[in-house]
Structure 1
Amino acid sequence: MSKPIEELFSLQGRVALVTGARKGLGFEISRAFGQAGAKVFISGRSPDEVAPAVSALREEGLDVDACPFNLGDPDAADQAVAYIIEKAGALHILVNNIGKRHRANLEKIDHKILADLLSVNLVAVYAASRAAIAVMRGQKWGRIINLSTTSAIKGIKGDPAYIASKGGVSALTRALAAEAGADNITVNDILPGPFATETNARMVEAAKADPRKNIVARRAPLGRWGEPREIAGAAVFLASDAGAYVTGQMLVVDGGISSQLY
């Protein structure tokens, strides 16, 4: 007998690690996973950094803990996964949401800046995924969700290093899906478009003050910025049994911007 639809989307009994979850999309994904029944570990560089997010979600009655580690440390991902196994006994879901940006034209981005962005946005994703897959193989069940960007498939001027790093994440997603599929591990990529997160607050406010600056309203078929909460459904789908036969894919969540030529 097949599962009822509500059970397909349940994360009851699952353990998840969400990186970059202090605020914005990572925070909302953590909240959604908790509401779906998962125990969620959220990461940041230090306990103090993640404490407010942990407290906020616990106040909502969710099972959330901190797992602070420095993604710039090559050994940190292995240590973080080992910590979660010690505390929770398993790791079923990894969301790689960490990201760093340096908006500048090609001429202003030297190899040091590029290397730094690649280290945070791509190498750290590789390291965390590698550590998680090592555990998930033994469980014969796992979900890895990477967050890239729509600019990885629709290039824009003035952001080449970030776009290159996030494009690498999308390529890595496909490679890891091929590597891990035989062990019932899916690896997918969410490509967010313009969301009204804390990081984008200045642009959102500028658009409200002057409609002429609201590029999103002009370009998106839905005519608005996305609310951070609107990333949650895509993440829960890919993390749950509802997405069990989806792997190596890019799920674009952008209000339709990438669907239009102009």
Structure 2
Amino acid sequence: MRFENRSIIVTGAGSGIGRAAALLFAAEGGHVVVADRTEGADETAHLISQAGGIATPIRVDAGEEEDVIRMVALACDTYGGLDVLFANAGISGGMANLFDTDVALITEVLRVNLIGPFLAIKHAAPRIVAHAAETGRGGAIVLTASVAGLRSGAGSPAYSASKAGVINLAAVSAQQLSGANVRVNAICPGLTETGMTKPVFDYAREANKMDRVGRLNPLHRGAQPEELARVAVFLASDDASYVNGQAIVVDGGLSSSHPVTRQDYGKTAA
């Protein structure tokens, strides 16, 4: 029960890694604000309640400041403060290459994937700091980045750039919260079966090609959301009390080499 009576916000909690993390937080005694822009928020909160946990759903757009302010206020008003933020919400932005990516697309991806975590930290961190001072226990912020933010070969230009920003945001935030007893870290998932990647996994199953999913990593498979959620929950817990400002890679070993088939500029794939 590492999170007994602790107040927690999880964004993007309507499915995938966010849902898996919200369930784990609640199973360990956390009081969870389940935030998502879809009805998945209500579904996740219902699953938590069915399991005997405590959760409050809220529909938000993670990249809209007023929504973020409302989300943080809900957690503080409902649960008496805020201990943990897991800023997990994100979008893929498709697979367009750099020269086919229009400004509207990259703007939207950055708005949700990078400005979203920035807003979450901006408005949640002061409340976490205040609550940590009141309770005498540390607070934690975890962000969802990606192996695509480490180097080329794991995502589109828009997505990769946004996640590189998240990795840096974690490091900068950890430094700017020096002395506040609040840690900030990021997780960097590899290929994981979530709503975002569902078409890839569905196609592989239909075409009987699941053996090709994740074939570039040493484990030769994709991840399940729970495998990423466990790492996020660990980083948010006191078990990770001396881990700060880090980007923890959870990718089956993919980024140990980041193998990729390259395509020459100006040429189309056969």
Structure-1-length-normalised TM-score: 0.90
Q: Which secondary structure state, in structure 1, belongs to the residue aligned with residue 215 of structure 2? A: helix
Q: CA deviation at 1:68?
A: 2.4
Matches within 5 A, 1:160-171: 160-171=157-168
Matches within 5 A, 1:1-262: 10-45=2-37, 48-103=39-94, 104-140=96-132, 141-156=138-153, 159-210=156-207, 214-260=211-257, 262=259
Q: CA deviation at 1:256?
A: 1.1
User: Which structure's residues are more often helix, by fraction?
Assistant: 1
Cα deviation per residue 1:153-178 (whole Å; 9 max; x = unaligned)? 13127710111011101110000000
Structure-2-length-normalised TM-score: 0.87
Q: Which secondary structure state, in structure 1, belongs to the residue aligned with residue 188 of structure 2? A: strand
Q: CA deviation at 1:252?
A: 0.8
Percent identity among equivalent residues? Answer: 30
Partner letter of residue 73 of structure 2? A
CA distance in 1, matches of 2:155, 2:225: 24
Q: Which secondary structure state, in structure 2, belongs to the residue aligned with residue 161 of structure 1? A: helix
Cα deviation per residue 1:218-250 (whole Å; 9 max; x = unaligned)? 211111111111123212211111011100001
Partner letter of residue 40 of structure 1? V
Distance 1:110 1:83, change over 3 A: same
Partner letter of residue 236 of structure 1? V
Q: Which residue in the other structure is 2:264 paired with?
A: none
Q: Which secondary structure state, in structure 1, belongs to the residue aligned with residue 126 of structure 2? A: helix
Q: CA deviation at 1:61?
A: 1.4
Across the two proteins, how many residue pairs are aligned to each other? Answer: 253
Decide whether the 8 Å contact of 2:140 with 2:184 is kept in 1: yes
Cα deviation per residue 1:188-221 (whole Å; 9 max; x = unaligned)? 0000111122332221233345566754442111
Partner letter of residue 234 of structure 2? F
RMSD (Å) for aligned C-alpha atoms: 1.9
Deviates more, 1:199-208 or 1:160-169: 199-208
Decide whether the 8 Å contact of 1:105 with 1:158 is kept in 2: no
Partner letter of residue 258 of structure 1? S
Which stretches in structure 2 are left out of the alignment for 5+ residues? 133-137, 260-270
Decide whether the 8 Å contact of 1:105 with 1:157 is kept in 2: no
Distance 1:158 1:151, change over 3 A: closer
Deviates more, 1:207-216 or 1:146-155: 207-216
CA distance in 2, matches of 1:26, 1:116: 20
Partner letter of residue 246 of structure 1? V
